[in-house]
């Protein structure tokens, strides 16, 4: 790719009549596949020329080349035109997309999903929990006491030639389930599914809570909430998505989470093969920093749909669905043997119970969570008592559409202005 510096230098030489001292490289014309060329060995060779995938016809540059070819100084406005179109093309070349797997961390039930993320130079790959309910990208790191690491992959900034300490900065975060972590901050290159952000803030853990230490399949989180929630101090940092947005073909990421199998997170594009029918978009209130959107109501099993505006957040980092007590009690009234257990901290029922589905509305669209998703897991391994995938939000303080709901749909997180969220069947 021709840099503007090269161009200005060439122009300067051209102006002095010393043209073509730096023959500019125009696009990349890929020659034919030499080893399969039909007439090698006869002392003659011809190569099929094909247009390079990155080739962009640039008229101003073609004219400019003619001036160079005949050693005629190019007029100033032509040189400017060439520089301008090159800059446009280089911006276009930089535009991108990414696509990466979201893999359940547990074979038996979907506690959380992790996605491979490479950090630094040479690349260090960690499995991170993409969390639209928070906005810190933090990792298990070489700055943690070894007593707090139990099998997790760590990021070692001192082993990355592109890592830079964000001097004097720190972070500390606590999640809705009481877990948390804190530490210092570096910037480095971060790549997700082929999409790279240079100088992404990577928050290196110096301390993690016990539930992170015991969760050995999660090496950290990638916050995909709004950057206003970021905890880095004294200067808060941007999320991976906010940093990537201006280079994405479209300012979106999508979640296609699945029940007990790997799904995908896509960045910069909407994959039509991942959903059926239409996507229903509704407004997002990003003020609290979450992807807060209005649901239009609910139905339990084959019962009537109750129209009711429910404000809640789409949170890929939370396993379950947390809704107002009135809705949750209406659901468990239909489940034989269900009780709201203080000892287990929520609604439980005999694992053999037949569960109804749960349908929620987004605008005029309706999404039904299959009964299997709502039988979340035995309260302890092998127990005949199971914990519900739908729980009351009264203790949480906010309604949360976690993975149990998200994996029943294809969800578009549109970071445009204004932000919206789209839901589609799949």
Ligand X SMILES: CNCc1ccc(Oc2cccnc2)o1
Q: Which residues 215-234 are close enough to bind ligand X by CB under 6 A?
A: 215, 218, 221
315 carries an active-site annotation: yes
176 binds ligand X (CB under 6 A): yes
Q: Which of residues 345-404 bind ligand X (CB under 6 A)?
A: none
Distance set, CA 16 to CA 2, 6, 23, 64, 66 (Å): 21, 15, 15, 15, 16
Indicate the residue among 286 and 306 with the shorter CB distance to ligand X.
286
211 is an interface residue for ligand X by CB under 6 A: yes
Q: Which residues of 247-282 are buried (b: 16+ CB within 10 A; e: fewer)?
A: bbebbbbbbbbbbeeebbbbbbbbeeeebeeebbbe
Q: Which of 193, 317, 361, 389 binds ligand X (CB under 6 A)?
A: 317
Q: Residue 177, interface with ligand X (CB under 6 A)?
A: yes
CB of 233 to ligand X, least distance (A): 20
Single out the segment in contact with ligand X by CB under 6 A; choices: 14-22, 210-218, 251-259, 328-336. 210-218
Whether the CB-CB separation of 418 and 284 falls below 8 Å is answered with yes
| Distance, CA of 377 to CA of 373 (rounded, Å) | 9
Report the residue number whose CB is nearest to ligand X. Answer: 317
Q: Pick one of 132, 191, 295, 318: the residue that binds ligand X (CB under 6 A).
A: 318
Q: How buried is 76 (Cβ within 10 angstroms: 0-12 exposed, 13-18 middle, 19+ buried)? A: exposed
Q: Is 256 a catalytic residue?
A: no
Catalytic residue among 110, 131, 242, 266: 131
Give, in order, the Cα–Cα distances in Å from 197 to each of 123, 139, 172, 188, 242.
13, 16, 23, 8, 10
DSSP reduced 3-state for 93: helix
CB-nearer residue toward ligand X: 219 or 256? 219
Sole binder of ligand X in the list 175, 269, 305, 344 (CB under 6 A): 175
Interface region with ligand X, contact rule CB under 6 A, candidates 172-180, 334-342, 348-356, 390-398: 172-180
DSSP-based three-state secondary structure for 397: coil
Closest CB 397 distance from ligand X, rounded Å:
13
Q: Decide if residue 212 touches ligand X (CB under 6 A).
A: yes
Q: What is the DSSP string of 134-148?
A: ---EEE-BTTS-GGG
The rounded distance, in Å, linking the Cα atoms of 342 and 326 is: 18
On the CB side of 63, how many CA atoms lie within 13 Å of its CA? 13
Nearest residue (CB) to ligand X, 90 versus 127: 127
Q: Under the criterion CB under 6 A, does residue 2 sit at the interface with ligand X? A: no
- For 324, residues 6+ apart whose C-beta sits below 8 A from its C-beta are 310, 392, 393, 394, 399
Which residue number, 112 or 270, has a Cβ lying nearer to ligand X? 112
Q: Does 133 bind ligand X (CB under 6 A)?
A: yes
* Catalytic residue numbers, as ranges: 131, 315
Chain residues that interact with ligand X, rule: CB under 6 A: 112, 129, 131, 133-134, 175-177, 179, 211-212, 215, 218, 221, 317-318
């Amino acid at each position: 790719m021709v840099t503007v510096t090269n161009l200005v230098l060439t122009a300067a030489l051209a102006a002095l009549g010393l043209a073509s001292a730096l023959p500019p490289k125009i696009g990349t014309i890929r020659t034919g596949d030499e080893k399969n060329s039909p007439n090698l060995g006869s002392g003659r060779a011809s190569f099929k020329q094909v247009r390079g995938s990155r080739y962009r016809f640039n008229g101003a540059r073609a004219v400019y080349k003619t001036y160079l070819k005949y050693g005629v100084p190019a007029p100033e406005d032509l040189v400017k035109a060439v520089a301008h179109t090159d800059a446009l093309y280089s911006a276009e070349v930089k535009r991108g997309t990414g696509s990466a797997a979201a893999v359940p961390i547990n074979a038996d039930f979907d506690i959380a999903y992790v996605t491979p993320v490479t950090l630094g130079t040479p690349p260090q790959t960690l499995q991170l929990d993409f969390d639209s309910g928070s906005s810190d990208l933090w990792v298990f790191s070489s700055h943690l006491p070894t007593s707090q690491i139990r099998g997790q992959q760590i990021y070692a900034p001192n082993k990355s030639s592109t890592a830079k300490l964000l001097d004097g900065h720190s972070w500390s975060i606590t999640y809705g389930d009481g877990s948390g972590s804190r530490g210092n901050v570096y910037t480095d290159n971060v790549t997700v599914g082929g999409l790279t952000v240079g100088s992404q803030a990577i928050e290196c853990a110096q301390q993690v809570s016990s539930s992170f230490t015991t969760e050995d399949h999660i090496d950290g989180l990638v916050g995909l909430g709004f950057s206003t929630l970021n905890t880095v101090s004294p200067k808060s940092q941007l999320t991976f998505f906010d940093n990537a947005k201006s280079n994405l073909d479209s300012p979106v990421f999508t979640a296609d989470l699945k029940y007990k199998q790997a799904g995908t997170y896509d960045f910069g594009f909407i994959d039509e093969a991942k959903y059926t029918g239409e996507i229903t978009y509704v407004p997002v209130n990003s003020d609290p920093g979450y992807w807060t959107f209005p649901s239009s109501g609910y139905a339990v099993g084959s019962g009537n749909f109750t129209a009711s505006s429910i404000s809640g957040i789409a949170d890929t980092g939370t396993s379950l669905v947390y809704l107002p007590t009135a809705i949750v009690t209406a659901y468990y009234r239909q489940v034989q043997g269900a009780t709201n257990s203080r000892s287990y901290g929520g609604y439980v029922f005999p694992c053999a119970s037949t569960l109804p589905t749960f349908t929620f509305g987004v605008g005029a669209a309706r999404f039904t969570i299959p009964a299997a998703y709502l039988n979340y897991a035995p309260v302890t391994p092998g127990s005949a008592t199971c914990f519900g995938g739908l729980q009351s939000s009264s203790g949480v303080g906010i309604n949360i559409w976690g993975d149990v709901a998200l994996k029943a749909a294809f969800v578009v997180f549109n970071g445009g202005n204004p932000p919206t969220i789209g839901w589609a069947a799949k």
